[in-house]
Amino acid sequence: MKKLGTRFFLISCLLMLLVSCSYSTSRGFIEQPQTKDVVVNSYFSDLEKDYVYKAILHIYKHRLSGIFIVKKINTNHHRIVFTTEFGKKIFDFELVENDFKINYINDQINKKKLIRTLSDDFQLLINQNNAVMNEFYSPTESIYRSKVRDKYYYHFYNKNNDQLEKIVMTSRNKEMLTIVFQDLKNNLAQSIVMTHDNLKISIELKYINN
């Protein structure tokens, strides 16, 4: 009877483990010994560069187009500003270490939940170095998992050229946000698409050669 109880416990644990790992980000990937301690996202890392993009933001029912600007001010310090084509600011955020500061936000989008979402999204977009917790094997990609506060980040690098092509942010058991980097040249992503899995929020960025 005691044996049966132990077996039941073990099976339950295994099932729970399988369920908790069953979201598609890591589905089918096999964990392998770590080859890196840190994963690097270099797309917003140059202090000399102004990263200027034409942007379309879909926020619930609204479509906002404009100019999206990212500037690295210092180590772990970025400024992210979104303006209309005419130059009117929609938001102006500052990310210092893990702090998120609002310099300006338009009244129409000044909503607590939305700001918290954008804060997490932009943290993921610009976070340059992340300590690797796990590494997974795939024939085409190198996949690394890291943890920032209560979120998990999965960085996907193309095995042929070692370029970062995708980052997925998850909670413990579900995907939250996917960022896809395309047209990659000299540490610059000319096209970036950020898509939420459970919210009607997405951001499309096309690089402007300013």
Partner 1 sequence: MRRKIYLFSLVVICFSFDGVSQQMEMLNNESQELRKRIIEKSNTTNTIISDFIQYKHLDFLSNDIKSTGKLVFKSPDLIKWEYLEPFKYSVVFKNDKLLINDDGVKSKIDLSSNKSFKSLNILIIKSVKGDMFDENSFDIEYFKNSKNYLVRFQPKTSSVKSFVNEFILTYDKVSLNVIEIKMKENSEDYTLLKFINQSINEKVGNEVFSN
Per CB under 8 A, residues contacting partner 1 are: 48-50, 52, 54, 56, 63, 65, 67, 69, 71, 73, 79, 81, 83, 85-89, 103, 206, 208-210
Q: Which of residues 43 and 156 has its CB atom nearest to partner 1 in the complex? A: 43
160 φ/ψ angles, rounded to the nearest 5 degrees: -75, -40
The distance of closest approach from Cβ of residue 181 to partner 1 in the complex, given in angstroms and rounded to an integer, is 20
Q: What is the rounded CA–CA span in Å between residue 179 and residue 152?
A: 14
In whole angstroms, how close is the CB of 100 to partner 1 at the nearest point? Answer: 17
In the complex with partner 1, the residue whose CB is nearer, 109 or 208, is 208
CA distance 23 to 183: 28
Give bridge partners of residue 146 from the DSSP assignment.
132, 153
| Residue with token string 């095995």 | 159
Q: Which is nearer to partner 1, 70 or 179 (CB)?
A: 70
Q: How far apart are the first and last CA of the chain?
A: 73
Nearer to partner 1, 67 or 177 (CB): 67
d(CA 4, CA 175): 36
Residue 100 and residue 118 in contact, taking contact as beta carbons nearer than 8 Å = no
Least CB distance to partner 1 at residue 7 (A): 60
* CB of 106 closer than 8 Å to CB of 121: no
- Alpha carbon 22 to its chain centroid, in Å, reads 20
Shortest Cβ 190–partner 1 spacing (Å): 12
Nearer to partner 1, 17 or 73 (CB): 73
Tell the smallest beta-carbon distance from residue 53 to partner 1 (Å): 10
